Amino acid sequence: MNGKPLLDPAVLARLGGLKLRVRAITEGVLAGLHRSPHHGQSVEFAEHREYSPGDELRHLDWKAWGKFDRYYVKRYEQETNLRAHLVVDASGSMGFRGREDRLTKLEYASALAASMTWLLVRQQDAAGLILANDKVLRAIPARAAASHVGNVVEALEQATAGGPTRLGAALDWLVENSRRRATVAIFTDLLDADPDLMKRIAQLSKRKHEVTLFHVLDPAELEFPYDDPTLFTSMEDERVVEATGRDVRRGYLEELGRWLDEVRRATAEADVDYVLCRTDSPLDEVLLPFLARRARHAA
């Protein structure tokens, strides 16, 4: 691999499929971890049932006996340390890459989400996936079984970028299907026409979810390395703009700076962790801080 780091995106771009990328990424991340944070399983109350001879007396519900004059025992179910819902934007704009030797934004986000799933399940935490553009394309409930990782990786590997961005559908799905406190990781370029998207993301935090927004952008979007007359075509609709790069670069970068500042301000006010992810940055620079934050929350 020419001496390049294992997690170098240029190296990952040459790997044949997402499974190979995940293997390389997770091996590199595990090598960078001093230890895997694991605090043991907890249990959660599930339901009552009538006492039967042989049941453990410590599970008797004395309040229920006083109310119904019958013996009931509490049943419990094993629950993992954490539930994580990973939302991946699969809209048309996520198919962009500034250079052929780079991952697309969707490939980069998928590599992050798949690797995160593997690492979470390895710690006996549950992870689920929501793929969306202007609607929910695929929803995989959170599970902690090792076999579950393959379902998530396969869904991400089959994902193609297309359609307009409307992440509101995915956020609505989360509100309806995640009543319990959870970690929510959102991977998107935020090129969403919904002016209230950040408010909707903030609502997840208000519902006590721990939300991290991974803002995935290509270096070309951040640096605008265009000089000559260039035809810019939208990846989500029919819009086309012809411009000379050097003439519009300054205005573009100023507007980009204002937008990024607004996103950072909105996430800070909403108590949402914000991570700007350049698709030319090593993925361990994203995953290791996330795992460290998760370990602090779980402690």
Residues 28 and 53 in one domain: no
Between 179 and 130, whose confidence is greater? 130
Same domain, 158 and 176: yes
Closest CA to 129 of 167, 84, 188: 84
CATH number of 288's domain: 3.40.50.410
Q: Which two tokens stand for residue 84?
A: 């994580």
pLDDT at 266 exceeding the cut of 60: yes
Angstrom distance (rounded) from CA 270 to CA 202: 5
Burial 110-146 (b: 16+ CB within 10 A, else e): bbbbbbbbbbbbebbbbbbbbbbbbebbbbbebbbee
Write a three-state SS string for 157-218. Answer: HHCCCCCCCCCHHHHHHHHHHCCCCCEEEEEECCCCCCCCHHHHHHHHHHCCCEEEEEEEEC
297: three-class secondary structure by DSSP: helix
Sequence-distant (6+) residues with CB within 8 A of 214 are: 109, 112, 185, 186, 187, 188, 275, 277, 286
Q: Which of 126, 121, 114, 39 is nearest to 80 (CA)?
A: 126
* pLDDT for 137: 96
Q: How confident is the model at residue 21 (pLDDT cuts 50, 70, 90)?
A: confident
Q: Is the pLDDT of residue 5 over 60?
A: no
Domain co-membership, 134 together with 103: yes
Q: Which of 278, 298, 285 is nearest to 115 (CA)?
A: 285
Q: Which two tokens stand for residue 80?
A: 């993992």
Q: How far apart are CA 137 and CA 135, in angstroms?
A: 6
- Is 195 within a domain? yes
Give a yes or no: residue 1 inside a domain: no
100 with 51, same domain?
no
**What does the pLDDT average to over 239-260?**
92
> In this model, does residue 129 exceed pLDDT 90?
yes
168 and 290 co-located in one domain:
yes
DSSP E strands: which ranges in the chain?
Answer: 42-50, 72-79, 83-89, 126-132, 136-143, 183-188, 210-217, 229-233, 240-244, 273-278
Is residue 222 situated within a structural domain? yes
Residue type, 184: V
Q: Are residues 210 and 146 in the same domain?
A: yes
Residue 245 lies in a domain: yes
Neighbours of 205 (CB within 10 A): 17
Best mean pLDDT range from 202-216, 223-237, 281-295: 202-216
HSE of 98 in the Cβ direction (CA atoms, 13 Å)?
Answer: 14
pLDDT at 75: 54
Residue 64 sits in the same domain as residue 161: no
Indicate whether 158 belongs to any domain: yes
Query: Is the pLDDT at 242 greater than 80, yes or no?
Result: yes
Is-contact 9 108, C-beta < 8 A? yes
Q: Which two tokens stand for residue 131?
A: 């793929």
d(CA 272, CA 213): 7
DSSP for residue 281: S
- Statement to judge: residues 140 and 217 lie in one domain: yes
Does the residue 210 lie in any domain? yes
Q: What is the pLDDT of residue 271?
A: 94
2, part of any domain: no
Instruction: Supply the pLDDT for residue 113.
Output: 95
pLDDT at 4: 43
Q: Of 60-69, 132-141, 176-185, 283-292, which one has max mean pLDDT?
A: 132-141
Model pTM? 0.80
Side by side, the strands of the sheet bearing 83-89 are 136-143, 126-132, 83-89, 183-188, 210-217, 273-278
* Mean pLDDT (whole number) for 230-259: 89
pLDDT score at 131: 97
Q: Which residue has the higher pLDDT, 218 or 13?
A: 218
3 within domain boundaries: no
Between residues 124 and 140, the one the model is more confident about: 140
Is there a single domain that holds both residue 61 and residue 184? Answer: no
Residues 175 and 74 in one domain: no
Q: Is the model's pLDDT at 38 over the cut of 50?
A: no
Mean pLDDT of the region 282-290? 87
Q: Which helix (H) or strand (E) holds 68?
A: helix 62-68
Query: Domain check: are 57 and 137 in the same one?
Result: no
What domain range is 64 assigned to?
42-78
**212 and 74 within one domain:** no
Token duo for residue 275: 């991570």
pLDDT for 10 equals: 76
Instruction: Report the number of distinct structural domains present in the chain.
Output: 2
